[in-house]
Structure 1
Amino acid sequence: MELYFLGTNAGVPTLQRNVTSIGLRMLDERRALWLFDCGEGTQHQILSSPLKLSKLEKIFITHLHGDHVFGLPGLLSSRAYQGGTTPLTLYGPPGTERMVSTAMELSQSRINYELTIVEHTGGKIFEDDSFIVESELLEHRIDSYGYRITEKDRPGSLDSARLAEYGLKPGPLFGRLKRGETITLEDGTLVRPEDVLGTPKRGKIITILGDTRPCDHVRTLAQDADVLVHEATFMHDLADTAHEYYHSTAQEAAEAARASNVGQLILTHFSSRYKDEEQLRPLLEEAQELFPNTLLAIEHQLIPLASWKEYNPVAD
């Protein structure tokens, strides 16, 4: 899994940064792209990225402020022209369907793929054999949600020595064992997956938050996550301003990461008063004082996602 930031600004775009959109690329896991928020200009940002709308499977909207959703009508309308003809599911808070359907109806836009819109108020909103997505309400001026993406544990590697003991050679039976099936040999011997598989591989947990003040549900969503993406609209010298506008500071994001025992913190959603990376550096330093494993989200930068233990190699 890899994160790709298509927009990192709060409120309005600038010449340096676009408004919020984050891609979660899962080519190895499901050959798919998931998108979190879709601010104005997102489809244009995608054109300059390695992301492909033909792979887009799901969009998760945190809240309905314009800097998080004004790119939706354009992206949905033009997706098919970029090879996106497979079904697409859009998740968002109440009002998402009305906003999208009104824009599409009044603009007489037509799409030639299956679009499903799922409105939610938190809880488990998606589960299949590989992933669970849960959501909780945060604290913002309008209903804003965070998402916790849990990759289910994967089977361990096949033990070649144990396979040899059973006289098994590479072939279809290997795949059945990896899928968790018990097989029967010609002599009637049963071989169970646990007989030949190593320790299951822990799936990753990614938490991506919408706009929020510090609140209890941040920790609910972020607890023991491998990666936490948290807004850091202001430095802490503007904590009163952040609180007034229902946002967080870089220090508050770091406090949440430390309290939630996450592996890595990525800061995003920066005020336009911070013009470039040099002016953003004090936010990074402020967070790193409390939580050293912190990165600034940089647009058009692909970030491979490691496990908690890889971020904390000396921890138990």
Structure 2
Amino acid sequence: MPSKQRNVTSIALNLLDERGTYWLVDCGEGTQQQILNSPVKLGRTEKLFITHLHGDHLYGLPGLLTSRSYLGGDTPLTLYGPRGLKQFVETALEVSGAHLSYTLHLVELDEEGIIFEDESFLVETARLEHRIECFGFRIVEKDQPGKLLNEKLKELAVPPGPIYGQLKLGHTVQLEDGRTIHGKDFLGAPVPGRVVVILGDTRYCEGAKKLARGADVLVHEATFAMDKQELAYAFDHATSTDAARTAQEAGANVLIMTHLSSRYQGDSVNELLHQAQQIHGNSHLARDFWSFDIPRKV
């Protein structure tokens, strides 16, 4: 449930530098209101992933979709989620007489695996263990080309200009003097892409560890403290120690915990953080409007 300090779940992935867009994961009640107090622009939202169909991850969706129209959003939006999502969205829009000014693509998830891939990103999903069908998402930035070795080109008297741009892309170029040079021969080591894993509600499970393997950042629910382990298991939720175990065993660099029970108010949330840090030192508790920068690997 929401509290005075924390709203229900919605997470934004800022991809303005990479593709000029935002991706959202989940859309709990009040998400569009929260967005008004954040840098996120609905019109620049490209994808929205729904982990599962419980209300605290879903009830903000009809309002967000229609507000995107009112705010001038006219680019396509793709919505991913479990079976039943299409019925929920279409019913809400039809009954309320809503009209969208943009194309909405609905993708219902039937299988685990890759659900999106282009030249720069890949998204993989796997099932988690919760009371209803629930997914986690592994968002992979593909490796970037290495730096162009300008000095090496100068040694070969290759004139600066558009040619350098072609070589940076790895293309083969023929010079005016007849020489042919290959871009791959003039690039430094590739820059590894970053990996962000955002899970829906889940108890400790293999699906979560599978998605989180080697991730730069793992976003994991931590509904309860460790003294509520039996309660967490009974309701298919995780404790802060469960989240930390998953991060540690999967080799994830950073753990960010979300989805805290409303019983933890004020300083009591620090108990969850302390428990996680005993297992995985690089652990954090997300707060509303908090952001975490993921630097490129060098």
TM above 0.5, one fold?
yes
* Alignment deviations for residues 272-307 of structure 1 (CA, whole Å, 9 cap, x no partner): 00113x111110010001100011111111210135
C-alpha RMSD of matched pairs (Å) = 1.2
Distance 1:38 1:69 in 2: 5
Q: Could you report, residue by residue, the CA deviation over 1:84-121 in whole angstroms, capped at 9, with x for unpaired residues?
A: 21110000011110000000000000001011000112
The 5-angstrom pairing of residues 204-215 of structure 1 reads 204-215=194-205
SS of match in other structure, 1:302: coil
Corresponding residue for residue 273 of structure 2: 284
**2:34 pairs with one of 30, 45, 48:** 45
The C-alpha deviation readout for 1:228-250, integer Å capped at 9, x for no partner, is 00000000000000001100000
Are the counterparts in 1 of residues 73 and 101 from structure 2 also a CA contact under 8 Å? no
Relative contact order (alpha carbons < 8 A, sep ≥ 6): 1 or 2 greater?
A: 1
Question: Please, which of 22, 32, 50 is the counterpart of residue 61 of structure 1?
Answer: 50
SS of 1:304's equivalent in the other structure is coil
What's the counterpart of residue 225 of structure 2?
A: 235
Aligned match for 2:136, one of 146, 160, 179: 146
TM-score, normalization: structure 1?
0.92
Task: Indicate if the aligned counterparts of 2:171 and 2:184 stay in contact, CA closer than 8 A.
Answer: no
Amino acid at match of 2:108: E
Task: State the shift of 1:169 in Å.
Answer: 4.1
3-state DSSP of counterpart to 1:150: strand
1:181 aligns with 2:181: no
Check whether the contact 1:226–1:306 (CA below 8 A) recurs between aligned residues: no
Q: Distance in 1 between matches of 2:178 and 2:79?
A: 49
1:181-223 superposed Cα distances (whole Å, 9 cap, x missing partner): 1111112222212211100000001100000011111111000
C-alpha displacement at 1:270, in angstroms?
Answer: 0.2
Quote the Cα distance in structure 2 between the aligned partners of 1:215 and 1:84: 38
Please say if residues 33 and 57 of structure 1, whose CA atoms lie closer than 8 Å, have aligned partners that are also in contact. Answer: yes
Distance in 1 (CA, whole Å) between partners of 2:284 and 2:159 is 45
* Partners of 1:53 and 1:83 within 8 A in 2: no
Tell me, which stretches of 5 or more residues in structure 1 are unaligned?
Answer: 1-11, 311-316
Identity of aligned residues (%): 52
Contact preservation (8 Å) 1:213, 1:247: yes
Return the match for 1:73 from 62, 86, 93: 62
Name the structure 2 match of 1:293: 282
Q: TM-score w.r.t. structure 2 length? A: 0.97
User: Stretches of 4+ moved more than 4 A in 1?
Assistant: none
- Does the 8 A contact of 1:59 with 1:91 survive in 2? yes
| Cα separation, 2, equivalents of 1:236 and 1:305 | 29
Shift of 1:167: 2.4
Secondary structure in 1 matching 2:163: helix
Matched, 1:198 2:188: yes
Aligned length: 297
| Structure 2 unaligned blocks of 5 or more | none
| Aligned with residue 97 of structure 2, among 108, 111, 123 | 108
- CA distance, structure 2, for counterparts of residue 193 and residue 202 of structure 1: 19
The alignment partner of 1:100 has SS state of: helix
